[in-house]
Chains A and B, each alone.
Chain A
């Protein structure tokens, strides 16, 4: 008994010894606060400058929030191209999320739990392609899509991005860890394969689907190069491409930043809701942000 108490006291003492000293703790909070301010500052500047009149860009006066002027928002939201670009980005992101999740969970389930001819070959060819940089495929991909009439269309924008190897791996990894008995039992009860997938596999995959869905949404919402080459007309631009074009055309800063703020709001909302899934996705499997 006494020995136990002593050892637990010793553990607590050593626990404390690894913790920083009082001064160390203060220093830690100071350093982290400075780093946070540096991290947040660009967002703050983006929002405040978007609420300034055209000419007020000189630092430091431009970073005082008051008085503000909503002119830039009136300009980007009323009548400009931004609502169209927002809609395009929403279509691009949401349709891709749904299709990638469906395709990847089907393929992931088959790779994890089914035996079929050519399985290993297919799997390793997926794997090999992860190592080939996107830019090697960019030119032929564009030629392919362009010759099929896909420039300035939603299908041309979306379909080529659905071949997402990382998503397939992630689903395979998750489903492989589910016990086989679950599927066997349903099969013995006479459930069809399709029914097993819909009623057993998908519900069990909810957490990983949430994580993957958020990442796919972010990748598409923030994507730049592919929408840039496929969306040639102003009407087919996504937000990133549109905002880059505004910046290039020397549109006033407050207007560009109002557009940027509008583009940032959904991302921020997704982050507030799904932060846990995002950070878990990164730490568990190293998905790229």
Chain B
């Protein structure tokens, strides 16, 4: 949900002839239809089919047959699914505070204008536009035992079952913090100066001004980021696929890796779809939970 939507009440134009309205409707439909048809075929249809397919056993070239909840009961008894869920949740729990913290810190530092501030902002956005595959290739070396990180810590984090997730989190933070920084920066620049000046003249120090004046104003932006970044990290795939392939010994095996392997390696399309449904339910559940928690804190 990244775009605000306002629907306007439809206006009734006085003196408009019915022929004109028909003409308008015809053209309106003609302009929307190409997009809408593509949407029906390639988004809406597959979304419905994907949900249904979760209740079937199906492989390419075979006809699907209905198996009820079999895929889901199988999932509940599958240690690989639980491992993937554990990895995905752990990754998200580490990633969220770190990425939002870094974004917030840097947004505060580049908030006021000074010589060179634009250059800093541009530099920080550069990783955002870089593909995760490129980031993965270079970070694989940085973390390897030949690279600086590996030398510093005496071994490769990507080969360690415990440290592999923090390593992936570091790469994700590097590649995403510039986005969060920009979102928060836009909000920070809208904080009325008078509010902070009033707090200052009441004798509030920098920390108090941040905590009681600036932070409350940032709340909607932080919530927006939280939702977007949670969804992103539940779907983490590119980095894992290129850097570790889910290893060592599945210690970085995420839900989408599981979905990919089931669908495109084992061609177990029904079960892979069921995993997709599980991912969707998980995402919705966490989004609702975040909404409740953030709403209550008001």
Contact = CB atoms under 8 A, between A and B. Distances in A.
B106 A116 contact: no
A70 interface: no
Contacts of B129: 218, 222, 267, 270-271, 278, 289
Interface stretch (A1-9, A203-211, A256-264): A256-264
B140 interface: yes
A136 B148 contact: no
Contact of B235 (A36, A133, A278): A133
Q: Is the interface of B mostly helix, strand, loop or mixed?
A: helix
Contact of A36 (B4, B24, B124, B186): B124
Contact of B123 (A39, A123, A168, A285): A39
Contacts of A257: 137-138, 141
Contact of B280 (A118, A132, A141): A132
Interface of B: 1-8, 10, 21, 23-29, 31-32, 34-36, 38-39, 41-47, 49-51, 53, 60, 106, 109-110, 112, 114, 116, 120-142, 146-148, 150-151, 174, 176, 178-179, 182-183, 185-186, 193, 196-197, 200-201, 224, 228, 231, 234-235, 237-238, 241-242, 245, 256, 259-260, 263-264, 269, 272-273, 276-277, 279-280, 283-284
25 contacts: A25-B114, A28-B109, A39-B174, A60-B148, A107-B36, A115-B25, A116-B28, A122-B32, A126-B39, A127-B5, A129-B44, A137-B42, A141-B46, A159-B38, A159-B42, A162-B38, A163-B41, A222-B129, A224-B132, A260-B133, A260-B137, A268-B126, A275-B122, A283-B185, A287-B2
Given A14-B200, A125-B44, A221-B131, 10 more contacts: A42-B135, A43-B126, A117-B25, A133-B231, A144-B45, A166-B2, A170-B3, A225-B238, A260-B138, A288-B228
Interface of A: 14-15, 17-20, 25, 28-29, 31-32, 35-36, 38-40, 42-43, 45-46, 49, 57-60, 62-63, 103-104, 106-107, 109-111, 114-120, 122-123, 125-127, 129-144, 146, 159-160, 162-163, 165-166, 168-170, 173, 176, 193, 197, 218, 221-222, 224-225, 229, 240, 243-244, 247-248, 253, 256-257, 260, 263-264, 267-268, 270-271, 275, 278-279, 282-283, 285-289
